[in-house]
Chains A and B, each alone.
Chain A
Amino acid sequence: MIKIKINDKEYSVKEGLTVLQAAEEVGIEIPHFCAHEYLKPAGLCRMCLVEIKGARKLQTSCTTPVKEGLEVWTESEAVVKAREEVLKLHFANHPIDCPECDQAGECSLQEYYDKYGFYDNPYIIKKEKREKDMELSDNLILDRERCILCLRCVRFTEEILGDKQLFVYERGNKSYISTYKGEKIISDYSGNIAEICPVGAITDKSFRFKIRSWFLEKRETICPLCSRGCNIYIETPKDKPYLDNYERLIRVKSGDNGEINKSFICDTGRYKLAEIEKRRNYKAIYEMQNVNWVRIKKILLEHIVTLDTIILSSWLSNEEIDLALSVFRDYLNIKNIFYWGRKDGEEDNILIRKDKNPNTTYLIEKKVKNIDSIDSRISNLLVFGDFFEDNPSVKEMIGENSFIMMISPYLPRDIGKINLLLPVTNFLEKGGNWTNYEGRGQTTKPVFNPKEEIKTEFEILQIIDSLLRKE
C-alpha cells in the first residue's frame, strides 16, 4: 500500500494501479472514454486529464501509474477547462442524433456533456458525412459519424480475442474504423464489441430501435448455457402500462466478475439465452389429461415406491440435488441414480466450455453416475428435464409397460411416452447455488416471477419427501 493525495485528501491505495483506477477505488470519478478495466491503457481520448504536482502539463490519468507521495487534482480549474475543450473536439464531427440512437441513456458522451459541457457549438464548418448504418457483422451495426475513435473495439479484438479483425484506417480527421476490405467480423464474442463501445457507434442489431434503454431494469444472475457460469445482467422492462406488449427478456448484458468472465460473455449466452423462455409448459399432464395437485399426490404415492431409476438433471441447483439424493438414495435406497444434460459442444480457451450445463460439477462431486454408464433395462423411472434428444441411447433402454414421470419446465418433444408430466419453474424463475467447472460456488436469485402458479423442483421434492414420511 502506498499513500497518495487526491484533491488534497490523503488515501492509501494498492501498488501498480493507474491514477484512474486508484481514484475509482476511493470513489472519485474521472471521466474517460478509452480506458477499460480489462484492456491495456491507451491514452487516446484525452478525457481523463488530471493535474499532477511536478508535471508541466496535464497528464492522462489512465496511463500514469501511482507512486509514493503523488499529488493529484481532478476538479481544478485547469482540468475542468481542458475537459470542456476535449469534449468540444469530440463533438466536432458527432451528429448528435440521440433521438434515434440506441445508446442514448447509457452513453458516456451524453453523460459528460451534461456534467462538463453545456457550451454552444464553436465550429462554423459543417460536420462530416459518413456511413450511418454499415453492417460490421451479422449482429453489429457501425455508425461512423458517431465514432469518437477511442479504439476500445480495436483493442478488444487485439488483446482479448487475439485475432486483430478491426483496424484504424487513414490518419487524423479522416481516420475511421473498419475490418480488412470491409469483410464481416466472424467471432463468438462479437456482441461484446457493441457493449464496450462508450458511444453509439457500434450497436446491437437485435436491440436496434426496439426499446429505449431507460425503460429497462437490470437484474443480476449467471449464464446457465455452459459450465463456466459467467455473470450476466438480464434487462427487463420496468413496470409501466405502455410496456405491456414487450417480452420480459429484452437483452442480456455481461456482468463484471474479474475471476470468471472479466466483463465479457460469448454470443451464445447473449443472443441464445432467450430460447430458454420458449416451449414452456404450465400444466400438469397425466395420460394426456390435465390433473390437479390432489390427484397428482395420489399418483405419486402409488408410483414412487416402485421406482427403480432416477435421472437427475445437471440444471438442478445444489440444494435440489442434495434433497433429491437424500430422498431417493438415502431414504428409498435406489441405486440407479444417473445425471444427464445437454450434449457437449465446442470449446475454446477464452470463455466457452465443452460442458453446456450449469451444475455438472456438483453432481460428479456427489458421485452421481453419468447417463452413459447405464447398462441394465429400466422399467419405472423419474426424470428431471427433457434431454432425450441429447442422449438418444436412453430411449432404447426403457422397457415396455414402464411408467415414466417427468419434471420439466418445457413441453417434451414426444409427450405420448410420458405418463406424468409436472411443470416447474425454469432457470430464470428459481434461485439457488451453482457450482461451476472449477468448483466455484455462485448464488442466484429468481429473475422473473412465473407467469402462472407453478412449483419449483425443490417444492416438488419436498412434497415427495413429506408423502413418503407420512406413510
Chain B
Amino acid sequence: MKGFLYFFETIKGLLVTGKHLIVNFFFHTINYIFRIKTKRRGSVTTQYPEEKREIPPRYRTKHRMMFNEEGTPRCVGCMLCVTVCPSDCIFVKAEEIEGKKIATEFIIHVNRCAFCGYCVEVCPEDAIRMDSGKLDFVSDSQKNLSLNLLFKGKK
C-alpha cells in the first residue's frame, strides 16, 4: 500500500523538475541566442572565463597595499595585522628611513590566508585593503603564492 503512495509523489517530483527545466531552458534560449533581455535570468550557470560574476563592493578579494603621494608605503610596521591574524600568514619588517618608521617587507602567504579581513579592519593607517577585485590567482607552487605587497611592478 505504501509503495503506491511513493509512486504518485515520484510523478509529482518529476513534473516539478520538468517544469523548471522547460522554463529555464526557454528563458536561457531567448537570453543567450535571441539576445532578448528579460527580467528572469533563466539558467544560473555563468560561462566562467569569458564571463565573470559581478563582485559586490564589500567582497573581500586579493590584498593590496596603499602608497603615499611620495611613493612610500603607508604601512608603518605597527604589527597589528600580524597580531590579529588568526592564521599567522602575514610577515612584516619595518626600518627607520629618514627618521620615520616605514615597512620594508610585507609578505602575505595567501595559501594560509582565510580572507577574514581582520587585517584590513585593524589597520590604523589604512595601508592594507582587500578590494582589488581579483579572485583568480593560481599557481603551481607554494612559493608563488606568497604575495609581496610592496612590489609595485607587474606580477
Task: Report whether chain A binds chain B.
Answer: yes
The 8 Å CB contact of B76, one of A99, A208, A215, A242, is A99
Asked if B94 and A209 sit within 8 Å, CB to CB, the answer is yes
CB of A98 within 8 A of CB of B79, answer: no
Q: Find the B residue at minimum CB distance from A241.
A: B88
B99: which of A99, A132, A215 is its contact (CB, 8 Å)? A132
Min CB–CB distance B140 → chain A (angstroms)? 24
- A138 at the B interface (CB under 8 A): no
Docked complex: A118-136 residues within 8 A CB-CB of B: 132-133
Closest to B90 in A: A242
Chain A residue at minimal CB-CB distance from B101: A100
A240 at the interface (CB under 8 A from B): yes
Judging by beta carbons under 8 Å apart, are A215 and B79 in contact? Answer: yes
Q: Which residues, 184 to 238 on A, are CB-close (under 8 Å) to B?
A: 208-209, 212, 214-215
Q: Is B76 in contact with A100, judged by CB distance below 8 angstroms?
A: yes
Collect the chain B residues with CB atoms within 8 Å of residue A98's CB.
Answer: 78, 124
Query: In the assembled complex, how far is the CB of residue B94 from the closest CB belonging to chain A, in whole angstroms?
Result: 6
Asked if A104 CB lies within 8 Å of chain B CBs, one says yes
A86-134 residues with Cβ-Cβ distance < 8 A to B are 98-100, 104, 132-133
* A208 nearest in chain B by CB position: B96
When the two chains form their complex, are residues A242 and B88 in contact, meaning their CB atoms are under 8 A apart? yes
Task: Give the chain A neighbours of B90 by CB distance below 8 A.
Answer: 242
B101's partner among A209, A240, A241, A242 (CB-CB below 8 A) is A209
Q: Note all chain B residues with C-beta closer than 8 A to A104.
A: 78
Chain A positions 235 through 277: 1 when the CB is less than 8 Å from some CB of chain B, otherwise 0: 0000011100000000000000000000000000000000000
**A452–chain B nearest beta-carbon distance, Å:** 27
Do residues B78 and A209 form an inter-chain contact, with CB atoms below 8 A? no
Task: Say yes or no: is B77 at the interface (Cβ < 8 Å to chain A).
Answer: yes
Bound complex: CA of A132 vs CA of B100, how far in Å?
A: 10
Q: Are B88 and A100 in contact (CB under 8 A)?
A: no
Scoring A residues 423 to 456 as 1 if CB is less than 8 Å from chain B, else 0, what string do you get?
0000000000000000000000000000000000
Q: Write the nearest CB–CB distance from B77 to chain A, whole angstroms.
A: 7
Interface residues of B in 74-105 (CB under 8 A from A): 76-80, 82-83, 88, 90-91, 94-96, 99-101
Interface pair B88/A240, CB less than 8 Å apart: yes
The count of chain A contact residues (Cβ–Cβ below 8 Å) is 14
Determine if B125 is an interface residue (Cβ-Cβ < 8 Å).
Answer: yes
Set of chain B residues within 8 Å of A208, measured between Cβ atoms: 96
Interface size class, chain B: 10 to 19
Q: Is the CB of A209 within 8 A of B77?
A: yes
Q: Do A100 and B79 form a contact, CB below 8 Å, given A242-B88, A242-B91?
A: no
Known: A99-B125, A242-B91. A212 touches B99 (CB 8 A): no
**B96: which of A209, A241, A242 is its contact (CB, 8 Å)?**
A209
In the complex, what's the smallest C-beta–C-beta distance from B36 to chain A, in angstroms?
56
| Assembled-state Cα–Cα distance A148/B101 (Å) | 22
Max count, chain B CB within 10 A of own CB: residue among A100, A240, A241: A100
Complex contacts, A241 vs chain B, CB 8 Å: 88
A99 and B96 in contact, given A214-B83, A242-B90 (Cβ under 8 angstroms): no
Q: How distant is the Cα of A324 from the Cα of B116 in the complex, in angstroms?
A: 60
Q: How far is the CA of A215 from the CA of B91 in the complex (A)?
A: 13
Q: Mark A129-173, 1 if CB is under 8 A from B, else 0.
A: 000110000000000000000000000000000000000000000
User: Cα distance A104–B83 when bound, in Å?
Assistant: 13
Please indicate the chain B residues that have their CB under 8 angstroms from the CB of A99 in the complex.
Answer: 76-78, 80, 124-125
B94: chain A residues at CB < 8 Å are: 209
Q: CA separation between A133 and B100, bound complex, in Å?
A: 9
Q: Nearest chain-A residue to B88 (Cβ)?
A: A241
| Alpha-carbon separation in the docked complex, A189 to B17 (Å) | 84
| B77 and A100 contacting across the interface, CB-CB below 8 Å | yes
Q: How far, in Å, is B32 (CB) from chain A's closest CB?
A: 49
B78: A residues at CB distance < 8 A: 98-100, 104, 212
List residues of chain B with CB within 8 A of the CB of A209. Answer: 77, 94-96, 101
A245 to chain B, nearest CB (A): 9
Distance of B126 from chain A, by nearest CB (Å): 11
B109 CB → nearest A CB, Å? 10
A133 to B83, Cβ gap below 8 A?
no
CA distance A377 to B94 in the complex (A): 58
**Interchain nearest-CB distance for A268 vs B (Å):** 26
Cα A241 to Cα B95 with chains together (Å): 20
Q: CA of A214 to CA of B78 in the docked complex: distance in angstroms?
A: 11
Q: With A and B bound together, what is the CA distance between A83 and B51 in angstroms?
A: 61
Q: Which residues of A contact B100 (CB under 8 A)?
A: 100
Interface residues of B (CB under 8 A from A): 76-80, 82-83, 88, 90-91, 94-96, 99-101, 124-125
A/B interface sample: 7 pairs, CB < 8 A: A100-B100, A100-B101, A132-B99, A209-B95, A209-B101, A215-B83, A242-B88
Given contacts A214-B83, A215-B79, A241-B88, 5 further A-B contacts (CB under 8 A): A99-B80, A100-B76, A212-B83, A242-B88, A242-B91
6 smallest CB-CB distances across A and B, nearest first, come from A99-B78, A100-B101, A212-B79, A100-B76, A242-B91, A99-B76
